[in-house]
């Protein structure tokens, strides 16, 4: 228990520190991304051209630049993308634990799967918040006319579904009282829900059609000054997420011990 | 001393040896017959779903009564149709397993020498059958009330595709709804807030299928030249989705029957 707490504390401090470093680097050392300068990916700008109104684009057709500070909003990339990737990763881990639970029926896998889902919820909400901020800056409006276009954007659809799944998972858990049933149902639902993850991950990597998520930037390679804070942010957030996970698992174990002790005391009191 | 012990150990094999060896197909047919006979006696699922569908149509009628003649209903007709199907099918799915649960039929089925995947397939098939029967009644009503008599179609501005394409899209949607709905309804009948839990679990799982389905329905209803490509793409996507998710549901059904 004590070792776990120490590990969690160290991980949380390291993770927080690394994320902060990435934050500072994103605004200081990382080079600003312009069209055809740092990122040599025409698709990156083109998708935005299609979506945003012309007068608000980085280089509007008439030559005037209304969009002050081009690609300043791109700075959120260093947080949005790691959060999204980690949310998919943690969901996958939760689904693996759910599968292990169904195979071995060991309650510890159920607890781990549930805590994995809690961490997924945290990362998913983070992605959603940073994503809607970025949407507002880059695609101008998320819920108006443009929102209807974006509603059929595969990444947003699959990710929204994922958030709904994670919320539904906790609603399901709350509504089943028997412990074994609850564990089995939630494991089954986790695996069924996980099917969306490969789609969400692979779609923009396979094709750029119908999508405004420019994954080709990641594939074509980034400038070193951009890549370093990106990787630091990933590692930092991973450490932070793992710290939360370790803490919660330790807490749940203590809770189970406490319940046992309580039962023991009650038995002894009944004997008296 | 030895003999009963031996019997205990091999009780599983002796039990199945004693019973007539039922093939999977016969088990499936028997379960199907049971569900259909039950429905014929109570008429609970089809009447409640059909009536509910009709009531949704009445509500549409009220909701759209102030739109005026300029309003082009064909642009939202696919969405309205989808809404009705989702609501009626959720009602029906819940009904389909309440009997099984409340009257202890599921336990009885588990005691019977039936393979568990067969239970899933039979239940999903009867659900699909009832969904299709209800749609056979309600969708023509919807079409006559809201689509075929609407101004753009009467004026010839919009030419819808043939009805059998609508039927294909609805069939694909119903297969998905019945397949996954059976799994999720089996989970939700065992929870505290049955109807609510079914909706909470059902809508996220169905989200991609509903999105694809509304595009296919819209392609048919709005029609015009070149709608076919979109229609067939969306049908292929629906088919793919159904294949993946129903395979998963088929594999996972065994676990939820066990507890």
Domain ranges of chain A: 1-31+223-272, 71-216
CB spacing of B252 vs A191 below 8 angstroms: yes
In the prediction, which pLDDT does A38 show?
37
Interface of B with A (CB under 8 A): 180, 183, 187, 190-193, 197, 200-201, 203-205, 207-208, 211, 244-245, 248-249, 252, 255-256, 258-259
Q: Is residue B164 part of a domain?
A: yes
Q: Which residue has the tokens 């029609």?
A: B223
* B50-59 contacts at long range (C-beta below 8 A, 24 or more positions apart): B50/B88, B50/B134, B50/B137, B50/B138, B52/B87, B52/B88, B52/B91, B53/B84, B53/B87, B53/B88, B53/B134, B53/B137, B53/B138, B54/B138, B54/B141, B56/B83, B56/B84, B56/B87, B56/B88, B57/B84, B57/B138, B57/B141, B57/B142, B57/B145
How far apart (Å, rounded) are the C-alpha atoms in residues A149 and A144?
9
Contact state of A189 with B187 under an 8 Å Cβ cutoff: yes
With beta carbons under 8 A apart, name residues in chain B contacting A99: none
Residue A152 with chain B: CB contacts under 8 Å: 211
CB atoms within 10 A of CB A29: 12
Question: What is the predicted pLDDT for the residue at B56?
Answer: 94
Mutate to test the interface with A, among B204, B247, B250 (most CBs of A within 10 A): B204
> What are the residues whose beta carbons fall under 8 Å from the beta carbon of A141, sequence distance 6 or more?
A147
Of A167, A184, A199, the CB nearest to B256: A184
Q: Which two tokens stand for residue B10?
A: 């091999």
Radius of gyration of chain B (CA): 22
The runs of H, that is alpha helices, within chain A are 2-27, 42-51, 77-104, 107-138, 145-150, 154-175, 179-194, 196-206, 216-220, 224-271
Instruction: Check if the beta carbon of residue B10 is closer than 8 Å to that of residue B94.
Output: no
Within-domain flag for B7: no
Report yes or no on B8 lying in a domain.
no
State how far the Cα of A84 lies from the Cα of B70, in Å rounded to an integer: 45
Q: A269 in contact with B at a CB cutoff of 8 Å? A: no
What is the predicted pLDDT for the residue at A63?
A: 46
In a domain, B159, yes or no: yes
Q: Which residues of chain B have pLDDT under 50?
A: 1-16
* C-alpha–C-alpha distance, residues A80 and A74, integer Å: 10
Q: How many angstroms away from the CA of A271 is the closest CA of chain B?
A: 34
**What string of pLDDT tens digits covers the 272 residues of chain A?**
788 888 889 999 999 999 999 988 888 887 665 443 333 333 333 334 444 444 445 454 444 444 444 456 677 888 898 999 999 999 999 999 999 999 999 989 999 999 999 999 999 999 999 888 777 666 554 444 455 555 567 788 888 889 999 999 999 999 998 988 999 999 999 999 998 888 888 877 776 666 667 665 566 666 777 788 889 999 999 999 999 999 999 898 888 899 999 999 999 999 88
Predicted pLDDT of residue A65: 41
**CA separation for the pair B41, A131 (Å, rounded):** 54
> Taking CB atoms and an 8 Å limit, are A171 and B197 in contact across chains?
yes
Considering only CB atoms, A161 lies closest to which of B204, B249, B252, namely B204
Partners of B207 on chain A (C-beta within 8 Å) are 157, 160-161, 164
**Cα B108 to chain centroid, rounded:** 24
Whether A188 sits inside 8 A of B208 (CB atoms) is: no
In a domain, B13, yes or no: no
Residue B93 lies in domain: 30-257
Enter the pTM of the model. 0.82
Whole-angstrom distance, CA of residue B204 vs CA of residue A182 = 19
Q: Residue B165 in contact with residue B231, Cβ under 8 Å? A: yes
Query: Is A120 an interface residue toward B (CB < 8 Å)?
Result: no
What is the model's pLDDT at position A238? 92
Domain count, chain B: 1
């Amino acid at each position: 228990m004590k070792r776990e707490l120490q590990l969690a504390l160290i991980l949380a401090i390291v993770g927080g520190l690394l994320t902060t470093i990435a934050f500072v680097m994103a605004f200081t050392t990382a080079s600003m991304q312009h069209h055809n300068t740092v990122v040599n990916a025409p698709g990156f700008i083109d998708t935005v051209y299609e979506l945003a109104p012309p007068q608000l684009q980085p280089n509007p057709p008439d030559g005037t630049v209304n969009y002050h500070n081009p690609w300043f909003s791109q700075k959120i990339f260093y947080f949005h993308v790691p959060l999204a990737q980690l949310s998919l990763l943690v969901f996958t881990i939760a689904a693996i634990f759910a599968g292990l639970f169904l195979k071995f029926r060991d309650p510890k896998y159920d607890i781990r799967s549930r805590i994995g889902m809690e961490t997924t919820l945290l990362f998913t909400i983070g992605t959603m918040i940073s994503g809607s901020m970025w949407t507002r800056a880059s695609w101008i409006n998320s819920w108006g006319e443009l929102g209807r276009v974006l509603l059929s954007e595969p990444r947003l659809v699959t990710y929204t579904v994922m958030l709904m799944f994670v919320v539904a998972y906790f609603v399901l858990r709350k509504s089943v009282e028997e412990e074994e049933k609850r564990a089995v149902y939630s494991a089954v639902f986790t695996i069924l829900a996980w099917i969306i993850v490969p789609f969400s991950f692979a779609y923009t990597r396979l094709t750029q059609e119908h999508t405004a998520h420019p994954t080709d930037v990641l594939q074509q390679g980034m400038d070193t000054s951009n890549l370093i804070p990106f990787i630091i942010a990933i590692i930092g957030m991973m450490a932070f997420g793992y710290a939360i996970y370790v803490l919660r698992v330790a807490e749940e174990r203590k809770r189970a011990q406490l319940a046992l002790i309580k039962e023991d005391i009650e038995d002894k009191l009944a004997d008296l | 001393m030895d003999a009963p012990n031996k019997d205990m150990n091999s009780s599983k094999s002796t039990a199945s040896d004693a019973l007539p060896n039922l093939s999977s197909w016969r088990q499936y047919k028997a379960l199907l017959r049971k569900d259909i006979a039950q429905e014929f006696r109570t008429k609970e699922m089809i009447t409640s779903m059909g009536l509910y569908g009709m009531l949704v149509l009445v509500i549409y009628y009220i909701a759209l009564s102030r739109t005026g003649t300029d309003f082009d209903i064909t642009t939202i007709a696919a969405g309205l149709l989808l809404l009705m199907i989702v609501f009626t099918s959720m009602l029906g799915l819940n009904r389909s397993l309440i009997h099984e649960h409340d009257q202890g039929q599921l336990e009885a089925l588990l005691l019977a020498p039936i393979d568990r995947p067969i239970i899933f397939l039979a239940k999903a098939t009867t659900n699909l059958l009832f969904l299709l029967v209800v749609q056979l009644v309600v969708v023509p009503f919807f079409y006559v009330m809201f689509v075929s008599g609407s101004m753009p179609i009467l004026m010839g501005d919009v030419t819808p595709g043939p009805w059998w394409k609508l039927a294909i899209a609805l069939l694909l949607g119903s297969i998905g709804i019945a397949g996954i709905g059976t799994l999720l309804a089996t989970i939700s009948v065992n929870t505290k807030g049955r109807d609510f839990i079914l909706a909470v679990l059902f809508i996220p799982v169905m989200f991609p299928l509903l999105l694809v389905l509304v595009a296919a329905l819209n392609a048919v209803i709005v029609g015009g030249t070149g709608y076919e490509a979109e229609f067939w793409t969306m049908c292929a996507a629906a088919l793919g989705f159904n294949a993946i998710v129903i395979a998963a549901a088929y594999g996972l059904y065994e676990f939820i029957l066990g507890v």
